[in-house]
Amino acid sequence: MKYFTIILNIILAIAIIVLYVLFLSLDKDHKVLADGDTEAVATPTDISIAYVLEDSLLSNYEYFKELAGNLDKKRQEMESDYTMKAQGLQKEFEGFQRTAGNMTMNQARAVEEDLLQKRQNLMLLQEKMGQDLMKAESEVNTQLYDKVTNFLENYARENGHALILNVKRGNAVLYGDKGMDVTDIVVKGLNDEYNSKGTSPQTPSVAADTTGTN
């Protein structure tokens, strides 16, 4: 899965948001009304926060595994097609080198120009394949992001969570109580939703080869 750097930025600037919420809550706790009563406000302990472990989510979410499998299959097909074309062109060059001595100057020049054009087309094909794969990965990212965030929005509303953090190695969240970890629950919910629909994810679109290499 190293080809996929899936970013699930569910909450942006997590540390700033949390500190801001806590600051407002603490500030309001000390505000006194005109009649002398302390204003009833939500304290930091009233804020329900949960988190999801990104690695565990991706490795267990069936929808993502199918998306990734489809994309990897498409990548392998493109690599195989490119390799076949490159090997075919190499054989043509070798054949030209063997027979060039039996050609007239004009014939040799024509064959050489044709081979050079095919090599240029092959280089363009390689560039195009790279662009197509980047586009397909972007489509995978979008589909995954939409699925997960839509589910989490409903899950958070039903369970009273104000924040659901995306936790992965290297991000700002260095510790979270295990009781706040809802990864397994979310994965089960996502898989139940995916399996209940009984439909496969849309295969990433990759344009057909139009470079005329051969």
DSSP assignments along 158-177, one per residue: HHT-SEEEEE-TTSS-----
Do 144 and 101 touch, CB atoms closer than 8 A? no
Residues 154-172: pLDDT tens digits? 999 999 999 999 998 878 7
Residue 52 carries which DSSP code?
E
| Distance (Å, whole) CA 17 – CA 4 | 28
3.40.50.740, 1.10.510.10, 3.30.910.20, 1.10.287.1080: CATH of 48-197: 3.30.910.20
Nearest to 133 by CA among 73, 179, 86, 59: 73
189 band by pLDDT with thresholds 50, 70 and 90: very high
Which of 60-69, 105-114, 173-182 is the least confident region? 173-182
Residue 212, Ramachandran bin (φ over 0: left; ψ between -120 and 50: alpha; else beta): left
- Put simply, whether the predicted model's pTM sits higher than 0.85 gets the answer no
Looking at the chain, which residues constitute the CATH 3.30.910.20 domain(s)? Answer: 48-197
Q: Element (H or E) spanning 1, and its range?
A: none
CA distances from 182 to 26, 42, 155, 165 (A): 27, 23, 10, 10
The helix/strand/coil state of 181 is strand
Residues 84-136: pLDDT tens digits? 999 999 999 999 999 988 999 999 999 999 999 999 999 999 999 999 999 99
| Distance (Å, whole) CA 95 – CA 90 | 9
